[in-house]
Amino acid sequence: MEEYSLKKSADSYRKGNVNIEEAAVRAKVSIWKMMDYIKENNITPRPETPDEMEDGLKRTAEIFGDK
């Protein structure tokens, strides 16, 4: 059962639907276990689009108070 949850959650991570933390929560494992599973199975996330990168930079700037 755990292996199925890991595989399914890692696939969502690979597709870019969730980040690694959310994948671990969905699989009901620690983030360390999810990281190990992703590394062992050579899973990489989908590359971000330029718009997604820009949104991420804006959120980071808001967090750190730089506008």
Q: What is the mean pLDDT of residues 31-54?
A: 92
State the amino acid at position 6 in one-letter form.
L
Q: Could you tell me the pTM of the whole model?
A: 0.71
Contact by Cβ (8 Å): 12, 26: yes
Can you spell out the DSSP letters for 24-52? HHHHTS-HHHHHHHHHHTT--PPPPPHHH
**Chain segment 7-41, per-residue pLDDT in tens:** 999 999 999 899 999 999 999 999 999 999 999 99
Contact by Cβ (8 Å): 13, 19: yes
Is pLDDT at 66 greater than 80 in this prediction?
no
The pLDDT, as a whole number, for residue 56 is 83
The pLDDT, as a whole number, for residue 41 is 96
